[in-house]
Amino acid sequence: MKLPRNVSGDGLIRTLARFGYVEVRRKGSHVRLKHPGPPPHLLTVPRHTALKTGTLHGILAEIANARDISIEALLDSLT
């Protein structure tokens, strides 16, 4: 599984909106997202122009664990 290197924070936020995540608040360059559930899930995404691969993998792994979705399915929706 190779992670894309050009995913922006805003692009990831738009993709997560398709999975039911909504913006709860914004502080500086970070956006707090919430999925109503069940179970409810909170997530913070930095609004950087290009997310580092470790940051992107951490966010995708957290979503995959909370929503019972594979990381590969999330990666397919990003591209």
pLDDT tens sequence across 8-54: 999 999 999 998 999 999 999 999 999 998 889 999 999 999 999 99
Among 76, 54, 73, 48, CA closest to 63: 73
> What CATH number has the domain bearing residue 60?
3.30.920.30
pTM of the model: 0.87
The parent domain of residue 60 ranges over: 9-78
Give me the residue label for tokens 């692009």: 11
**pLDDT attached to residue 13:** 93
The three-class DSSP label of residue 24 is strand
Does residue 14 belong to any structural domain of this protein?
Answer: yes
Enumerate the β-bridge partners of residue 48.
Answer: none
Residue 57 lies in a domain: yes
Kindly list the distances between the CA atom of residue 37 and the CA atoms of 11, 41, 52, 54, in Å, as whole numbers in the listed order. Answer: 22, 7, 27, 26
pLDDT at 1 over 80: no
Our count of domains for the chain comes to 1
